[in-house]
Amino acid sequence: MAEIIPIPAFADNYIWFLRNGNVGAVVDPGDATPVIAFLERTGTSPCAILATHHHGDHVGGIPALLARWPVPVFGPAREKIPGRTQALTGGDRFDVPGLDATFDVIDVPGHTAGHIALFGEFGGMPVLFCGDTLFTGGCGRLFEGTPEQMWASLSALAALPPETRVYCGHEYTLANLRFALAVEPTSAELGARNVRDKAKRDKGEPTVPSTIALERATNPFLRAHLPEVRAAAAAHAGHALADDVASFAALREWKNTF
């Protein structure tokens, strides 16, 4: 049976394990220790490692995993990924060896310059692994890219099928939704999501994955083109915002100090 399992790491990272029987692919293993503990506990072994971007909390565990399991490492061509054997760029399509899964690669610069997202089908469901680009209820900080790039990246992800499951790299949802509610305080759908996700966290459950449909309905960073969201961003910035990119950039700056 195919399933996608979160392996919590550090304070709020999720390393994802795409399990099929006794093997699986490990996505963004920032720390090897919890991955090895998981594999030993479940009697599974990795068949591949997938990386979305070069930050240490996403790739730091790769060398220790490779020392024990010398599996292929798929990662962005334009970033330094430890042990990478398969360099990926937008438009590529690849099969994960040992797993019944094919992924399309999408270039999503902004958080980092060479960040990629992986879109495919697993367990009969469209799934997206988007690292620190699209978060549930929010988006990543712009460390290496421009607002233009990030807005284009997020827009490409927003155009994926609405039922796509969104697997991001961190459990940031509640903090993101607090900000989203400041932007759109009267949104009933956002209010309902906040109640649901709070209940999940109270029970210690992950709020990830969400879906593209839910993100489009409630994530302000996918909604910067809408008049009501642009108006809120302009009110906070204290000046008019000329276009969608300016609206997105103002939202991102607002969130940085929220």
Positions touching Zn ion (CB under 5 A) are 55, 132
DSSP structure class, residue 96: P
- The DSSP H or E segment spanning 165 is strand 165-168
**Minimum separation from the CB atom of position 9 to Zn ion (A):** 13
170 is catalytic: yes
Nearer to Zn ion, 10 or 179 (CB): 10
**Is residue 139 a contact partner of residue 150, using CB atoms and an 8 Å limit?**
yes
95 is an active site residue: no
Which entry of 55, 107, 115, 197 is annotated as an active-site residue? 55
Nearer to Zn ion, 135 or 233 (CB): 135
CA dihedral 244, 165, 98, 49 (to 10 degrees): 50
Q: Which of 28, 31, 54, 58 is catalytic?
A: 58
User: Least separation, in Å, of the C-beta of 150 and Zn ion?
Assistant: 13
Candidates 53, 54, 115, 197; catalytic one: 53
Nearer to Zn ion, 144 or 244 (CB): 144
Does the annotation count 55 as an active-site position? Answer: yes
Q: How far is the CB of 97 from Zn ion (least distance, A)?
A: 26
Of 28, 31, 54, 57, catalytic: 57
State the minimum distance, in angstroms, from the CB of residue 18 to Zn ion. Answer: 20
In whole angstroms, the minimum distance from the beta carbon of 238 to Zn ion comes to 30
Closer by beta carbon to Zn ion, 28 or else 197: 28
Segment 31-40 long-range contacts (CB within 8 Å, at least 24 positions apart): 31/57, 31/60, 31/61, 32/60, 32/61, 32/62, 32/63, 32/64, 32/65, 33/61, 34/7, 34/8, 34/9, 35/7, 35/9, 35/61, 35/65, 36/64, 36/65, 36/68, 38/5, 38/7
Q: Which of 28, 31, 107, 132 is catalytic?
A: 132
Nearest to Zn ion of 55, 193 (CB atom):
55
User: Could you confirm whether 54 is annotated as catalytic?
Assistant: no
Calculated CA dihedral for residues 162, 165, 168, 172, nearest 10 degrees: 80
Active site residues: 53, 55, 57-58, 111, 132, 170
